[in-house]
Amino acid sequence: MRTKIVAGNWKMNKNVQESIKLADEIVSELKDLTLEHTRVLVAPPFVNISEVVKITEATPVEVAAQNMHQASSGAYTGEIAAEMLTSLGLQTVILGHSERREYFGENDAVLTEKVSTALDHKLEVIFCFGEVLADRKSGKHFEVVAAQLRNVLFELSPDQWSSVVLAYEPVWAIGTGETASPEQAQEMHAFIRRMIADHYTQELADGVSILYGGSVKPSNAQELFANPDVDGGLIGGASLQATDFVALVRSF
């Protein structure tokens, strides 16, 4: 059975006091919930990670990073290296989010380096990808998604895939209130799994968790997560309220 995952990406939200409060609330609300084959992650802003790690220690909640630099160290003012994350006890990093691609110019070449560096430092990668609205309307969404995966991940060895989680995020549905229908999400997730099976093996493809991201909220999560190839969600806005976030975890 594939692992189900609900990962909250707090983005550039919550100061340290607010992050402590949110983490406390999430841990408290999950206290009496039995999590079988389900992982819960939160990704606070870098400056708040240490405090959130303290709160979530010895709880089911894992802490992830929102990003990292591809270099292991050096003169890159303002950037964060993989070893800085692992020294805090983190085991997971989000890479390739559409906002990093759009606002910071991260392309396939940069992301290939980032993924390689993360895996070299024993970090699990949640790899984000997805089409913009123009691609969807022109019928190029499968082509775009295939290229994003093939260009960055298909040189990985089969063993390396055990440290990769995929997060399909149609860009047109991120923070817009629009959501891919359950049928659209399942169609794309099934396509992604077939791609992996064709390039590697069906066994490997069946073991990869593929998350959906894009305006997931308590009102639509159960229907989305019920699809056979949707293994959870990478959550933005709904992860900023403990009640909403925990409701998503309960949606499985």
Residue-level pLDDT, tens digit, the chain, 252 residues: 799 999 999 999 999 999 999 999 999 999 888 888 899 999 999 999 999 999 999 999 999 999 999 999 999 999 999 999 999 999 999 999 999 999 999 999 999 999 999 999 999 999 999 999 889 989 999 999 999 999 999 999 999 999 999 999 998 887 777 778 999 999 999 999 999 999 999 999 999 999 999 889 999 999 999 999 999 999 999 999 999 999 999 998
pLDDT the model gives residue 52: 98
pLDDT the model gives residue 176: 79
Residue with structure tokens 């190839």? 229
Exactly one of 69, 97, 141, 189 is catalytic; which is it?
97
pLDDT the model gives residue 195: 98
Q: What's the rounded Cα separation, in Å, for the pair 252 and 238?
A: 16
Q: What's the rounded Cα separation, in Å, for the pair 108 and 101?
A: 9
Domain containing 136 equals 4-249
Q: Where are the alpha helices (DSSP H) in the chain?
A: 16-30, 49-56, 82-86, 98-104, 108-120, 133-137, 141-153, 182-199, 202-207, 218-225, 242-249
pLDDT the model gives residue 252: 85
Q: How many domains in the chain?
A: 1
51 is catalytic: no
pLDDT tens-digit series, residues 69-97:
999 999 999 999 999 999 999 999 999 99
Q: What's the rounded Cα separation, in Å, for the pair 151 and 156?
A: 11
189 is catalytic: no
pTM > 0.85: yes or no:
yes
pLDDT the model gives residue 120: 98
CATH code at position 242 = 3.20.20.70
